[in-house]
């Protein structure tokens, strides 16, 4: 087994420093004290509390989660705990928004650190999508079904839902595209162009049937004829973590570790998927590596906390390496600290709710429609 200690570049370090400020009494606590106090708060709240932890969370946080998973698995799991008054989502903002749409009226969704956002989600603003849709209409392009990755704001999901589209995750992206093409001739896929391209190509759609829509350019920087010929209109967005993986890294790790199997997340660039041995969602990566023969060697192209968890706990009898030797860390996920979790829980014990995530009522209906479509697609 092998673990990677992630190195932070200046951009990541700056963003981690932007964590939501905490009361002084929650700073400088030892790990042992935080663990003990979190355990007491959890026991006090008992069945009124549900802690959800995304796979990319740090170990010090995810060990307290009642349910762990990727976005799709956690979204499906919310309904199983209707008895919980408080859903503490250890993830990022768009995930907590989706949870707020899916929970029962009496349940409140809480994000331990309000600064935990998503750079990919920020690449698709509601006004940009409205402009895109209007410009596609002006181009006279019919039969477009909008599909948004779950890594998007509630306002984006609502827009897509109202126009007959749906949400997808990396787990069901292929099934979602098949669903969309049963209802239209073209798919507008946002905000991650790589997930859209990799999924569509795997389904047999040629690269020359895909175009990239740049929301910062008039008419996406495209001519009407280009859009008319395309089956996939890909939004110009990406994951800042997964875009760091490269073909050169794959070549280097194959040289260093003969016989290594390379598995990557579909948010990586197309050429990286082509150079890898396998590709799939976070849940798929976990299952593939843990089901592999003892002694297997794996290089994994996804967020480093999951890679390290695979190496140390989930697949200890295999050698698991990060494809990036420095480790690719999601700095916004990293903002959720055990200090923040402790603060949230102890305040709940005292009857005080902080950081509640509430999707506006004017967005909630169509966001729910889009998410329900996602959950119904097999």
Residues 95 and 31 in one domain: yes
Question: Does residue 17 have a pLDDT over 80?
Answer: no
Residues 107 and 157 in one domain: no
49-61 per-position pLDDT tens digit: 999 999 888 889 9
Residues 95 and 203 in one domain: no
Residues 131 and 147 in one domain: yes
Q: What is the pLDDT, as a whole number, of residue 8?
A: 35
pTM for the predicted model, two decimal places: 0.87
Residues 217 and 300 in one domain: no
Question: Does residue 27 have a pLDDT over 80?
Answer: yes
Lowest mean pLDDT among 8-17, 20-29, 230-239, 341-350: 8-17
Q: Sign (positive/negative) of CA torsion 335, 339, 343, 344?
A: positive
Q: Average pLDDT over the chain, rounded to whole?
A: 91
* Residues 6+ positions from 350 with CB-CB distance below 8 Å: none
Residues 254 and 229 in one domain: no
Residues 82 and 188 in one domain: no
Residue 139, domain member (yes or no) = yes
92-140 per-position pLDDT tens digit: 998 899 899 989 999 999 999 999 989 999 999 999 999 999 999 999 9
Residues 137 and 229 in one domain: yes
Residues 92 and 24 in one domain: yes
CA pair distance 19, 335, nearest whole angstrom: 6
Residue 289, domain member (yes or no) = yes
Residues 125 and 233 in one domain: yes
Q: What is the pLDDT, as a whole number, of residue 81?
A: 87
Owning domain of residue 304: 242-322
Question: Does residue 183 have a pLDDT over 60?
Answer: yes
234-268 per-position pLDDT tens digit: 999 999 989 999 999 999 999 999 999 999 999 99
CA pair distance 333, 318, nearest whole angstrom: 26
The count of structural domains within the chain is 3
Of 219, 239, 259, the residue that ends a domain is: 239
Task: Identify which has the larger pLDDT, 2 or 221.
Answer: 221
Q: What is the pLDDT, as a whole number, of residue 18?
A: 58
Percent of the chain with pLDDT over 90: 78
Residue 327, domain member (yes or no) = no
Residue 315, domain member (yes or no) = yes
Lowest mean pLDDT among 28-32, 163-167, 327-331: 327-331
Residue 254, domain member (yes or no) = yes
CB 334 within 8 A of CB 17: no
Residue 369, domain member (yes or no) = no
Q: Can you give the CATH number for the domain in which 142 is found?
A: 3.40.50.10800
Residues 28 and 111 in one domain: yes
Q: What is the pLDDT, as a whole number, of residue 202?
A: 97
Residue 186, domain member (yes or no) = yes
Q: What is the pLDDT, as a whole number, of residue 19?
A: 63
Lowest mean pLDDT among 4-13, 28-37, 292-301: 4-13
Residue 376, domain member (yes or no) = no
Residues 259 and 230 in one domain: no
């Amino acid at each position: 087994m092998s673990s990677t200690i992630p190195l932070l570049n200046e951009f990541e370090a700056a963003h981690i420093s932007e964590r939501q400020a905490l009361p002084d009494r929650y700073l400088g606590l030892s790990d042992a004290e935080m663990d003990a106090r979190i355990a007491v708060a959890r026991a006090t709240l008992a069945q009124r509390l549900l802690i959800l932890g995304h796979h990319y969370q740090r170990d010090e946080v995810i060990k307290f989660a009642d349910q762990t998973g990727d976005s799709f698995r956690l979204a499906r799991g919310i309904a199983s705990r209707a008895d919980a008054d408080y859903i503490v989502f250890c993830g990022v903002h768009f995930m907590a928004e989706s949870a707020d749409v899916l929970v029962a009226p009496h349940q409140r969704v809480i994000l331990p650190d309000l600064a935990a956002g998503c750079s990919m989600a920020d690449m698709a603003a509601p006004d940009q999508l409205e402009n895109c849709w209007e410009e596609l209409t002006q181009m006279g392009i019919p039969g477009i079904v909008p599909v948004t990755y779950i890594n998007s704001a509630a306002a984006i999901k609502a827009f897509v839902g109202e126009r007959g589209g749906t949400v997808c995750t990396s787990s069901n992206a292929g099934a979602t595209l098949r669903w969309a093409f049963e209802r239209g001739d073209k798919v507008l896929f946002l905000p991650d162009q790589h997930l859209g391209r990799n999924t569509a190509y795997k389904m047999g759609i040629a690269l020359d049937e895909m175009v990239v829509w740049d929301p910062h350019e008039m008419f996406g920087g495209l001519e009407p004829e280009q859009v008319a010929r395309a089956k996939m209109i890909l939004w110009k967005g990406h994951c800042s973590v997964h875009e760091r993986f490269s073909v050169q890294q794959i070549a280097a790790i194959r040289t260093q570790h003969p016989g290594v199997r390379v598995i990557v997340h579909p948010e990586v660039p197309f050429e990286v998927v082509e150079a890898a041995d396998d590709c799939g969602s976070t849940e798929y990566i976990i299952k593939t590596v843990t089901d592999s023969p003892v002694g297997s060697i794996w290089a994994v192209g996804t967020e480093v906390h999951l890679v390290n968890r695979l190496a140390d706990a989930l697949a200890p009898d295999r050698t698991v390496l990060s494809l990036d030797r420095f480790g690719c860390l999601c700095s916004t996920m990293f903002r959720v600290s055990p200090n923040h979790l402790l603060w949230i829980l102890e305040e709940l014990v005292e009857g005080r709710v902080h950081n509640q995530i509430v999707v506006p009522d004017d967005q909630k209906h169509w966001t729910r429609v889009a998410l329900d479509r996602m959950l119904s697609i097999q």
